[in-house]
Structure formats: structure tokens, C-alpha cells
């Protein structure tokens, strides 16, 4: 784990533990500091070396001292003391609907301090008998537990990609390898990655494996052999390296890319074509002659299939379509013309100035970027009120006057109220270039209620895009149970786009739903939901999601030219 991540984790745990103790105010201070540190783009160790920890927003003297202790010793005495006092596993507190008060009660009355303890207590029905819990609360905790369990043992692609790329680069730079390629779920760009699979060829395998076992940032070597080794890196991620013969590289790449379901179907095709397919090659069943193996593409081609992009290899119909040469032309990064979901400083949780948004858009060769600040709803997030819409428009207009080749669009991310109405007047909505609407409260409605609520927003003539349609937060909150046939039909009819929210915490819509939306002719758009400058990079994650959902250029709003986008928005 990086020093920064470790600091963030410890500060958040302190906040949790203090809350359990019933301490007021302090937990919020720790959480604020953790959030600021988490979003630093500068190296935390450097900041400490230069004695500038207290310059970080929300980090005062007291917290700066604690951060310094963690950076210098790898741990914090104060944190250790709290953990001794309250032996509750931090993972337990990730369960939604299990706040500090309830966690404390479970610990004191049922001796539940871990996820497995919680599961046992739920199964034995002991939780509903506790005062203040009951069957409804039991059901909610059970749901929360499932969500935490699902995310355990998997890392988000956004965390895995940079680490994996760094390792690949180090292997390539050593000159001990010829070919180095990602395989597995990483190559398929799944958002939840169990472990990193790397496939390589090398002349001197012993030396190559030695190199791998002494990578930078290694935590431990789990196993080491001539053809396969596994290591764990500091972030906790496992990395497998396989070295194969040049002549089998293509078939091994095919095999180890998976998915397992795709491979099973592919082997059936091989058998019906009188071939035998394994990680070493594709063989004629009768003569046992090897007909492909060095090149992955040839493995597919020999079986009468066009090469299938790894993102599609999930046995969702891709093999049938490849047999008819009808694979989709998946959207490419350079076809994306802009980002339609970005927050400026005007959102209370936003940190990017218009100037920086312009810089970032330019850096990416965008033609447009929508500044979609939050609308104000009492008690949620401060932002645009009806009065401020005019000011927002003026500011963006004046920013546009000083840039060429790029246009900022004045937008808003309005809140869909429990009844489906938005929290800005129709007049304000109509003045804006672009309106995103999203659910940010009242998550516990029934399927019928939340579907009707979303449909009403879809059919609001001012709404262009529905943000993060399922409302999920990974590891925290599950998806709404929506009537998708209804949502897709209405969205298509109303000409409202559904968002592929690329923010790692959301990853919403996910691939399966994207594919269904594409099939139904619903327009989609990729938005990064940027609140900080580094978030604009999430566009890449959104593209991976879109590709996994079979998206082609015409399916996406933000591949349109500025003129076409404006025409679409006006419609």
C-alpha cells in the first residue's frame, strides 16, 4: 500500500473508532483530513520532507504530527491504542446501515467484531432480537454485508492499471523479455480485478524470473518457478507471471485472457470444427498438426472467427457474432470529443477552477466540456440555486470568450426528488446548455417508486442525461432495482441519454446494462463526474466500460461533433 493510502486508511479508522467511543466533532476532522490527503496529486512523502504537511487543507498541527508519525514509523501509537480499546475489525464498519452506534451494540452484546461474526449472528437470528434492530434492520445489514463481501478480494481497475503498467514497463526495460502482455480480467478491462496476469517470452527464463521476483515495490514472493511465478506487491495485489514458448504465445494469450466462459464456448467451436484447442496451440484433430499458436489472431481466424477484442470475451454472444463477421466497431479513446460531467468550484464538493477545466480539456484535445455543478437541495450538497444560474451562465460565457477550438457548456447536475421533480425551476433548466439529473437521496424506495421517479426525470423535456442510473456506490451501496425495460423504452422515446459514470466509486451503468441499452437503441454518454483535477483521467475507465458494453461511436453522445451535440441538446 502506498504511504498516502496507508495514512488515509489510518485516519479514517481513527474517525470510526472515535465515533464508536461517542466522541463528537473530532471524527469529522479526521475524515476531512483523510479526504484531502487522498486527493493530493503531489507526493505525500515529499510534502513531509519539506515540512509542509500543515499546508494541506484541513490538516492542522495535531493531525500533521500523526501523519508524520505514520510516514516515519509505518504506524501510529494513538491508532494502536484505540484499536486495543475497541477490537472491532475496520471491515465491519464498511457495512452500510451499520453505523458506529449499532456496531458498538453488536460488539458489547453479541461479541460481534468481524464480518464473519456478523454473518454468523445474522444467520442464527440473534440480531433481530437485539433492542433497536428488528427484521427490517436485519435485512438491510444483510444487504450491506453482501456488498462488502462482493468487493473483498477484488481491486478496482483504476487502482490496478497504473500498478500493472509500472510493472510491465519495468519488465520491458530490463531487456530480459521479448514479449510482455497482460492477460486475464485486466486485459479484458473488467472493473473488478482479482489478480494481474502477465504473459511473456524470454530467452533466459531463470534470469527473467529473478528479475520479476525482485521488482520494485514487492511485498512478498508467493511462488517462483521456471514457467510461473506469483508475487504480492505493496498494495496487496497479486501478480502472476507466466513465461511461455514463442510458438505458443498467441494461444497462451488467448487461454489466459479468458474469460473462462468464453474459453469454454470457444473450445466447443474448436471441437465442432474438428480441432483441439489448448494453451499450447490449435491442432488438427486427425493429423495432430499445429495450425495456429504463435499469433492470437490466427487462433480465431483458423476457426472461422474474426479476432475478438478482449473486452468482449465474456460469452455474451461475441463468438456467434464473430463467426458472421459482425463484431461491433468498439468506440476508441480518440473518438471521444468531450466530457459532459464535470464539477467546478461552484459545487461545494468541487475543487476545479474553470481555468483548470479549460487546461485539462485542451490537454485531451476535447472540443467541448460541460460544467455541470450540483444544484442546491437543502441538506445535500450546496450548489446552484435558481438565482445563481444566471451567474453560472455568464461566467462560462466569459470563459468561452478567451478560448478557441473548445467550448465550455453551462450545465447543472440537478437532483431528482423523491417524486421525480427536479430542484431547479423549469426556467433555469431551460436557460442552461445541458441538464444532467441524478438521484442523490431517498435510496430506499420500492422498485415501482424509483422507476417512476426516474421515468419522470427522463421525460422532463429539459433533462438531457440521467446520471449514474443505478445509484450504486461500490463497496457501500447496491444498485436500485429498476424496471430496465421501462427505463430503456422511455429513454429512447424521450431522447434522454443514460450516463456511463466513469468515477471508480460508481462505475455505473456497468457493462451488462450498457450492452442492453445499446441493443435497445438508447443513447449513452461517458462522464467522469470530476470533482478534482486528476478525476478527468477517469475517461479512460469509462471507455473501457463502454467497450465492454459493446458501444460503438454512434451510441455515445460525447463522440458527436460540437455542432451535432448542440443540435441534439436543442432537440
Nearest to 265 by CA among 303, 319, 305, 311: 319
Distance CA 557, CA 461 (A): 17
Beta-bridged to residue 411, according to DSSP, are 372, 434
Q: Coil, strand or helix: which one is 308?
A: coil
Binding segment (CB under 6 A) for ligand DGT, from list 63-71, 171-179, 193-201, 463-471 = 193-201
Among Ca ion, ligand DGT, none, residue 256 binds (CB under 5-8 Å by kind) = ligand DGT
**Would you say 410 and 357 are in contact if contact means Cβ atoms under 8 Å apart?**
no
Give whichever of 194 and 478 is closer to ligand DGT, judged by the CB atom: 194
Distance CA 277, CA 254 (A): 10
CB of 144 to ligand DGT, least distance (A): 23
Q: Give yes or no for residue 240 binding Ca ion (CB under 5 A).
A: yes
Q: Compute φ and ψ for 425, nearest 5 degrees.
A: -70, 155
Q: Give yes or no for residue 413 binding Ca ion (CB under 5 A).
A: no
Q: Are strands 238-243 and 275-278 parallel, antiparallel or unpaired?
A: unpaired
Size of the site for ligand DGT (CB under 6 A): 13
Among Ca ion, ligand DGT, none, residue 259 binds (CB under 5-8 Å by kind) = ligand DGT
CB of 190 to ligand DGT, least distance (A): 6
Binding segment (CB under 6 A) for ligand DGT, from list 51-59, 144-152, 218-226, 257-265 = 257-265
Q: Give yes or no for residue 256 binding ligand DGT (CB under 6 A).
A: yes
CB of 560 to Ca ion, least distance (A): 36
Burial of 213 (0-12, 13-18, 19+ CB in 10 A): middle
Q: Give yes or no for residue 510 binding ligand DGT (CB under 6 A).
A: no
**Would you say 240 and 215 are in contact if contact means Cβ atoms under 8 Å apart?**
no
Residue nearest to ligand DGT (CB): 258
Among ligand DGT, Ca ion, none, residue 460 binds (CB under 5-8 Å by kind) = none
Residues 170-229 that bind Ca ion (CB under 5 A): 184-185, 195, 197
Distance CA 535, CA 554 (A): 25
Residues 132-191 that bind ligand DGT (CB under 6 A): 184-185
Nearest to 372 by CA among 450, 424, 421: 424
Residue nearest to Ca ion (CB): 184
Q: Coil, strand or helix: which one is 107?
A: helix
Give whichever of 264 and 567 is closer to ligand DGT, judged by the CB atom: 264
Give whichever of 263 and 388 is closer to ligand DGT, judged by the CB atom: 263
Distance CA 433, CA 268 (A): 52
Distance CA 264, CA 269 (A): 9
Distance CA 438, CA 525 (A): 14
Contacts of 445 (CB under 8 A, 6+ apart): 418, 453, 480
* Residue bearing cell 483504476: 158
Give whichever of 192 and 215 is closer to ligand DGT, judged by the CB atom: 192
CB of 327 to ligand DGT, least distance (A): 20
CB of 239 to ligand DGT, least distance (A): 10
**Would you say 524 and 488 are in contact if contact means Cβ atoms under 8 Å apart?**
no
CB of 173 to ligand DGT, least distance (A): 25
Give whichever of 196 and 502 is closer to Ca ion, judged by the CB atom: 196
Q: Give yes or no for residue 258 binding ligand DGT (CB under 6 A).
A: yes
The string of DSSP codes covering 479-511 is -----HHHHHHHHHHHT-EEEEE--TTT-BS-H
Give whichever of 138 and 197 is closer to ligand DGT, judged by the CB atom: 197
Binding residue (CB under 6 A) for ligand DGT from 117, 194, 323, 504: 194
CB of 180 to Ca ion, least distance (A): 16
Q: Compute φ and ψ for 250, nearest 5 degrees.
A: -65, -45
* Residue bearing cell 464498511: 94
Binding segment (CB under 6 A) for ligand DGT, from list 259-267, 290-298, 371-379, 559-567 = 259-267
Nearest to 185 by CA among 249, 248, 246, 261: 261
**Angle (nearest 5°) at CA 94 between 21 and 376:** 90
Give whichever of 64 and 160 is closer to Ca ion, judged by the CB atom: 160
Q: Element (H or E) spanning 150, and its range?
A: helix 134-151
CB of 288 to ligand DGT, least distance (A): 21
Give whichever of 189 and 440 is closer to ligand DGT, judged by the CB atom: 189
CB of 186 to Ca ion, least distance (A): 6
Q: Are strands 281-284 and 290-292 parallel, antiparallel or unpaired?
A: antiparallel
Q: Give yes or no for residue 197 binding ligand DGT (CB under 6 A).
A: yes
Among ligand DGT, Ca ion, none, residue 191 binds (CB under 5-8 Å by kind) = none
Q: Give yes or no for residue 16 binding Ca ion (CB under 5 A).
A: no
Given the rule CB under 6 A, which residues bind ligand DGT? 184-185, 193-195, 197, 255-256, 258-260, 263-264
Given the rule CB under 5 A, which residues bind Ca ion? 184-185, 195, 197, 240
Amino acid at each position: 500500500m502506498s504511504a498516502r493510502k496507508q495514512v488515509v486508511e489510518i485516519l479514517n479508522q481513527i474517525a470510526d473508532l472515535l465515533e464508536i467511543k461517542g466522541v463528537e466533532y473530532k471524527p469529522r476532522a479526521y475524515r476531512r483530513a483523510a479526504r484531502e490527503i487522498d486527493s493530493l496529486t503531489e507526493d505525500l512523502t515529499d510534502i513531509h520532507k519539506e515540512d509542509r504537511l500543515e499546508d494541506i487543507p484541513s490538516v492542522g498541527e495535531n493531525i500533521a504530527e500523526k501523519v508524520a508519525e505514520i510516514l516515519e514509523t509505518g504506524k501510529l501509537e494513538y491508532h494502536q491504542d484505540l484499536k486495543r480499546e475497541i477490537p472491532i475489525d475496520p471491515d465491519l464498519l464498511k457495512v452500510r446501515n451499520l453505523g458506529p452506534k449499532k456496531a458498538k451494540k453488536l460488539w458489547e452484546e453479541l461479541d460481534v467484531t468481524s464480518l464473519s461474526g456478523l454473518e454468523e449472528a445474522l444467520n442464527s437470528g440473534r440480531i433481530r432480537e437485539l433492542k433497536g434492530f428488528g427484521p427490517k434492520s436485519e435485512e438491510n445489514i444483510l444487504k450491506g454485508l453482501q456488498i462488502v463481501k462482493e468487493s473483498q478480494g477484488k481491486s478496482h481497475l483504476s487502482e490496478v492499471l497504473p500498478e500493472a503498467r509500472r510493472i510491465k514497463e519495468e519488465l520491458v526495460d530490463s531487456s530480459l523479455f521479448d514479449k510482455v502482455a497482460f492477460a486475464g480480467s485486466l486485459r479484458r478491462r473488467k472493473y473488478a480485478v482479482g489478480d494481474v496476469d502477465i504473459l511473456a517470452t524470454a530467452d533466459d527464463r531463470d534470469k527473467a524470473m529473478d528479475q520479476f521476483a525482485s521488482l520494485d515495490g514487492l511485498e512478498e514472493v508467493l511462488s517462483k518457478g521456471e514457467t510461473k511465478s506469483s508475487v504480492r506487491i505493496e498494495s496487496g495485489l497479486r501478480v502472476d507471471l507466466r513465461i511461455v514458448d514463442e510458438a505458443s504465445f498467441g494461444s497462451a494469450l488467448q487461454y489466459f485472457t479468458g474469460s473462462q466462459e468464453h474459453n469454454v464456448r470457444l473450445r466447443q467451436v474448436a471441437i465442432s470444427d474438428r480441432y483441439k484447442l489448448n494453451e499450447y496451440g490449435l491442432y488438427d484433430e486427425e493429423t495432430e498438426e499445429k495450425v495456429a499458436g504463435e499469433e492470437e489472431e490466427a487462433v480465431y481466424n483458423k476457426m472461422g472467427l474474426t479476432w475478438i477484442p478482449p473486452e468482449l470475451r465474456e460469452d455474451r454472444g461475441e463468438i456467434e457474432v464473430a463467426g458472421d463477421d459482425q463484431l461491433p466497431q468498439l468506440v476508441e479513446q480518440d473518438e471521444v470529443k468531450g466530457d459532459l460531467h464535470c464539477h467546478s468550484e461552484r459545487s461545494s464538493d468541487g475543487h476545479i477552477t474553470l481555468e483548470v477545466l479549460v487546461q485539462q480539456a485542451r490537454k485531451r484535445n476535447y472540443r467541448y466540456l460541460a460544467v455541470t455543478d450540483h444544484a442546491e437541495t437543502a441538506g445535500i450538497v450546496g450548489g446552484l440555486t435558481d438565482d445563481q444560474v444566471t451567474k453560472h451562465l455568464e461566467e462560462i460565457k466569459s470563459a468561452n470568450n478567451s478560448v478557441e477550438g473548445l467550448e465550455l457548456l453551462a450545465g447543472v447536475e440537478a437532483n431528482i426528488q423523491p417524486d421525480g421533480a427536479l430542484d431547479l425551476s423549469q426556467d433555469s433548466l431551460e436557460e442552461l446548455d445541458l441538464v444532467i439529473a441524478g438521484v442523490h437521496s431517498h435510496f430506499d424506495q420500492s422498485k415501482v417508486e424509483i422507476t417512476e421517479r426516474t421515468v419522470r426525470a427522463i421525460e422532463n423535456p429539459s433533462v438531457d442525461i440521467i446520471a449514474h442510473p443505478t445509484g450504486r456506490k461500490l463497496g457501500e451501496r447496491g444498485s436500485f432495482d429498476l424496471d430496465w425495460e421501462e427505463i430503456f423504452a422511455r429513454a429512447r422515446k424521450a431522447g434522454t441519454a443514460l450516463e456511463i459514470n466513469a468515477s471508480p466509486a460508481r462505475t455505473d451503468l456497468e457493462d451488462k446494462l450498457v450492452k442492453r441499452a445499446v441493443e435497445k437503441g438508447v443513447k449513452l454518454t461517458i462522464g467522469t463526474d470530476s470533482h478534482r483535477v486528476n478525476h478527468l483521467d477517469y475517461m479512460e475507465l469509462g471507455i473501457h466500460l463502454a467497450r465492454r458494453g459493446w458501444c460503438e461511436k454512434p451510441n455515445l453522445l460525447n463522440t458527436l461533433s460540437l455542432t451535432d451535440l448542440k443540435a441534439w441538446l436543442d432537440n
